[in-house]
Amino acid sequence: MKTSLLVATLGLFALTSTPALAQSGHHGQHVAAANVAPASAMKMSDGTVRKVDKAAGKITIAHGPLENLGMPAMTMAFRVGDAAMLDKVKAGDKIRFVAERVDGVFSVKQLEMAQ
């Protein structure tokens, strides 16, 4: 009987504490941060601007593989780390950029015109 009560209590504790851990947003964060290089140290990727959406703060890029994100070549929209980046490019421009995952959102952290 004591064992059943102990198991039930531990199960209840596990069920009630799990949402708190999930909502905290800090679960495992210290480990991930240690394995991420700063944008300035990352290799730039090649891409072609497909669309610039200044109102949404996004840029759509057809890009090659993004090694730092383990992502294959594709076309996708990214947020920009600095809205001023969007004033420097237009659809059709060849660019080099660094993308990172910031708070679960893919974002362009560095951007330059390809030569």
CATH number at residue 47: 2.40.50.320
Q: Please, which pLDDT band fits residue 75 given cuts at 50, 70 and 90?
A: very high
Q: What is the pLDDT of residue 43?
A: 86
User: What is the CB neighbour count within 10 angstroms for residue 112?
Assistant: 13
Say if residue 57 is in the same domain as residue 43: yes
Q: Which residues are CB-neighbours of 106 under 8 A, at least 6 positions away? A: 69, 76, 78, 79, 99, 100
Confidence band (pLDDT; 50, 70, 90) for 17?
Answer: very low
Q: Spell out the alpha helix ranges (H) of 1-115.
A: 2-24, 29-34
Segment 51-72 mean pLDDT: 96
What's the pTM value of the predicted model, to 2 decimals? 0.65
Domain span including residue 92: 38-113
pLDDT value of residue 2 = 57
State whether residue 94 is helix, strand or coil.
Answer: strand
**pLDDT tens per residue, range 96-105:** 999 999 899 9
